[in-house]
Amino acid sequence: MAHIDVIDYDRSNGRLREIYDDLIAKRGKLAEVHMIQSLRPESIVKHIDLYLEIMFSKSELSRAEREMIAVIVSANNNCEYCQIHHAEALNNYWKNEDKVMQLRKDYTVLTLAPKHRVMCTYAQQLTLDPGKANDADLTQPLKEVGLSDSAILDATLVIAYFNFVNRIVQGLDVGIEEDKGAGYKY
C-alpha cells in the first residue's frame, strides 16, 4: 500500500480525470506509477512526456535495447514494479521469457551481442556507482563497440530516467497492479 494518499480513478475529477482518461485511451489502462502522482496531476503529464521522449523517440537504440537497459537498472535497484513492467515490454520484442528472467537475475551469464553486454554493464555501473564516472570514462567501452555519442546519450537518459522512477516507486511503495502489468499498449 502506498505511503501517501492516492486518488484512484473512481475518486478523480476535473483535470486529474482528464489525464486519467487520456492515459487509458493511449496506453490501454492506468498504471499505479501514474496514480502515485495524483496529488500533482500535471506531474503525470510531464512524466509521460519525458517517458515518451526517452523510450519512444527516434534513436539509434532500438526499443528493445531501451527496455533491456530499463530492466538492468530496475534489477540493480531491486525495483520489482519496474522489473515486471519492463521485462514484459522487453519480452514483447525478445519473445523469450527465460532470457528476460535471466537478464533480471544476472545478465553476465547470458549470451548477448557485445554491444548489448557493454550497454548492460554501463547501465549497472551508472546505477550502482554513478560517482565512478567522475574517475573514469565509462563511455569508452560503448564507443569501442560502435555506439555514437548520440546513442550513448540516449542510453544514459534511459538509465537516469529509470533510476528516477525506481526512487518514486520504492520511496512511496507503489504496488504492482493486480494483473501484474499485463495489457499495456507497446
Using DSSP, state whether 7 is helix, strand or coil: coil
Q: What local confidence, expressed as pLDDT, does residue 127 receive? A: 97
Residue 13's identity, in one-letter code, is N
Q: What local confidence, expressed as pLDDT, does residue 178 receive? A: 78
Closest CA to 75 of 109, 118, 34, 123: 123
Cβ proximity of 165 and 37 under 8 Å: no
Cβ proximity of 133 and 165 under 8 Å: no
Low-confidence ranges of the chain (pLDDT < 50): none
Torsion angle defined by CA atoms of residues 186, 156, 85 and 58, in that order, rounded to the nearest 10 degrees: 0
Query: In the 8-state DSSP scheme, what is residue 177?
Result: P
Domain with CATH 1.20.1290.10 in the chain: 63-171
For residue range 88-139, what is the model confidence (pLDDT) as tens digits? 999 999 999 999 999 999 999 999 999 999 999 999 999 999 988 878 899 9
d(CA 163, CA 126): 10
The CATH number of 63-171 is which of 1.20.1290.10, 3.40.470.10, 3.40.640.10, 2.40.50.140?
1.20.1290.10
